[in-house]
């Protein structure tokens, strides 16, 4: 009888353990976002982070929208630590930031890198702060095309693409671009580039010609960006808190509420794996998922 109860107890522990693990996994992988701590009431400064390569926008847009709807949040710090990413995702986050800034102040706080798509998003803020050594700018668009046709021939691997439409297989990895395809893609890149420049010119109140001179893909330090009018002020996260509190009408030390995405640690591990793969293959992280134009520093670019 004792052995019977021991076995039942062990089974119960195992079942409860699996239930606990499943519950925790479900919670962390649910993808919902929330602002914490919720026990605070009254005026607060919300903090939203944009980290790493920008490959999607849905979750970040939801966080921004939650901050916009939260009446206790009177101003927001958008902390950017990103080399850029996909154009569509960057534009969607930019629009969400602009929508938020129409209701309450948004102070952009740049970390060590806020370049290309990261800078694109920053343009939606009310005020942009950067550290003197922040790497920013990189206003431009790039598209990678890797061909492995000769390698496939060497390995005696056959590959065929069936496509309907003259340009449907443009960018196929087993052959170089032909002149018409190159012209087509360059036209797409030029239009995306013009969109980027127009956003910078409008948000920074700069003549489009002047932006054109700055937007040749080069990066700038935070101090250089200040001189060029690309940012408003030098300062780190602590200074951003002071500015956000002032713009939000908060006197004294402000209460901060952070948007934390459930499952963030798992998603960071996935992003980390993608970054390692991109470094190893010299592909941009976007190419780990699919081939697309991106606004980002090259995967093998390291600022020292």
Q: Which residues are catalytic?
A: 116, 168
d(CA 84, CA 90): 8
Which ranges constitute the DSSP H helices of the chain? 2-28, 58-69, 87-101, 117-122, 149-154, 179-204, 208-214, 222-228, 237-247, 264-281, 285-289
d(CA 135, CA 223): 10
Residue with tokens 């080399």: 83
**Among residues 196, 222, 82, 210, which one has the least CA distance to residue 140?**
196
Q: What are phi and psi of 62, to 5 degrees?
A: -65, -40
The answer to whether the beta carbons of residues 297 and 139 sit under 8 Å apart is no
Reported as half-sphere exposure (CB side, CA atoms, 13 A), residue 146 has a value of 14
Q: Collect all residues with Cβ–Cβ distance below 8 Å to 296 and sequence separation of at least 6.
A: 53, 54, 83, 84, 85, 115, 116, 117, 138, 142, 284, 285, 286
Query: Which helix (H) or strand (E) covers residue 259, if one does?
Result: strand 255-261
d(CA 77, CA 59): 17
**Among residues 55, 62, 67, which one has the least CA distance to residue 117?**
55
Q: Could you tell me the two tokens for 160? A: 């065929």
Q: Collect all residues with Cβ–Cβ distance below 8 Å to 241 and sequence separation of at least 6.
A: 45, 77, 254, 256
């Amino acid at each position: 009888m004792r052995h019977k109860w021991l076995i039942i107890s062990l089974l119960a522990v195992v079942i409860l353990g699996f239930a606990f693990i499943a519950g925790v996994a479900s919670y962390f992988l649910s993808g919902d976002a929330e602002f914490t701590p919720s026990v605070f009431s009254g005026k607060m400064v919300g903090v939203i982070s944009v980290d790493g390569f920008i490959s999607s926008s849905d979750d970040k847009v939801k966080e921004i929208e939650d901050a916009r709807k939260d009446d206790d949040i009177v101003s927001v710090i958008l902390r950017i630590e990103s080399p850029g990413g996909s154009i569509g995702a960057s534009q969607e986050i930019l629009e969400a930031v602009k929508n938020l800034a129409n209701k309450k102040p948004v102070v952009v706080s740049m970390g060590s890198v806020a370049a290309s798509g990261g800078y694109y998003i920053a343009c939606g803020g009310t005020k942009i702060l950067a550290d003197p050594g922040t790497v920013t700018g990189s206003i431009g668009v790039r598209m990678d095309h890797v061909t492995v046709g000769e390698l496939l021939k060497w390995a005696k691997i056959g590959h065929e693409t069936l496509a309907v439409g003259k340009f449907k297989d443009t960018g196929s990895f087993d052959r170089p671009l032909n002149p018409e395809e190159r012209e087509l893609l360059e036209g797409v890149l030029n239009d995306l580039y013009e969109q980027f420049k127009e956003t910078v010119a409008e948000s920074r109140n700069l003549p489009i010609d002047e932006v054109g001179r700055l937007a040749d893909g080069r990066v700038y330090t935070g101090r250089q960006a200040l001189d060029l009018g690309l940012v408003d002020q030098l300062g780190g996260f602590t200074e951003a808190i002071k500015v956000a509190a002032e713009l939000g009408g908060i006197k004294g030390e402000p209460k901060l509420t952070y948007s934390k995405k459930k499952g963030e640690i798992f998603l960071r591990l996935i992003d980390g794996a993608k970054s390692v793969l991109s470094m190893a293959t010299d592909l941009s992280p976007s190419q780990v998922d699919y081939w697309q134009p991106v606004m980002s520093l090259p995967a093998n670019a390291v600022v020292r």
